[in-house]
A and B are shown apart, each in its own frame.
Chain A
């Protein structure tokens, strides 16, 4: 069984500040982890994924995430927030059956000018 917990349903940062969105997972098998982003009135799109190759994963739009097995975490970071980063972000863990993923509840990122 898998589960994902996203800490903080809302995060607000100033433009240019560090973005940190937290994700902790639980998985009975070695996890495959994803971050997706959803802009208003759109579907989700993949930011990055961890598939056991490198623990530091780089994604699109300057985002990256680090897999830490000891902490069961996969936090998403970006050094400098941009107004266009305002969106909802979802962490997901892939199950072992039919490619099904379990999604976290999401974190809404607000970027203040």
Chain B
């Protein structure tokens, strides 16, 4: 199994509070991704990173920001959590940005915003 951990694994927070989710990898892969998974929507890309301090937006980036100060860590921040951000969040890594490279996923973080 790829060495990917996510923390916390479960979190309940109140509307309007900031939340930071952490993804940590031990594979030294250059590419890292944050997805959210909602019933009937599959996985949707929030943000991704192609190197330290190099990040870009995905298809559902509004209300989220990311940072990557080290190869192994990719942080996702909800600046002011809303109920629509209740979801399961997955981090993924990939060895390369080439099209034939698969992604390896972390175990997920279940976030509930009340």
Q: Do A and B bind each other?
A: yes
Once bound together, how far apart are the Cα atoms of A100 and B40, in whole Å? 20
Chain B contributes a number of interface residues (CB within 8 A of A) equal to 29
| Contact flags B70-114 to A (C-beta < 8 A → 1, else 0) | 000000000000000000001010101111111111111000000
Residues from chain B with Cβ under 8 Å of A32 in the complex: 99-100
Find B100's partner among A9, A51, A98 (CB 8 Å cutoff).
A51
Residues from chain A with Cβ under 8 Å of B106 in the complex: 43
Establish whether residues B97 and A99, one from each chain, have CB atoms under 8 Å apart when the complex forms: yes
Chain A contributes a number of interface residues (CB within 8 A of B) equal to 25
Please report which residues of chain A, range 32-49, place their CB below 8 angstroms from some CB of chain B when the two chains form the complex: 32, 34, 36, 41-46, 49
Residues from chain B with Cβ under 8 Å of A98 in the complex: 31, 48, 50, 56, 97
- Min distance, Cβ B37 to any Cβ of chain A, angstroms: 9
**B-binding residues in A (CB < 8 A):** 9, 32, 34, 36, 41-46, 49, 51, 90, 94-101, 103-106
Task: Give 26 pairs: A residue, B residue, CB < 8 Å, sorted on A.
Answer: A9-B40, A32-B99, A32-B100, A41-B107, A41-B108, A42-B108, A43-B4, A43-B90, A43-B92, A43-B107, A43-B108, A44-B43, A44-B90, A44-B103, A45-B104, A46-B102, A51-B99, A51-B100, A90-B43, A98-B31, A98-B56, A99-B94, A99-B101, A99-B103, A103-B42, A104-B42
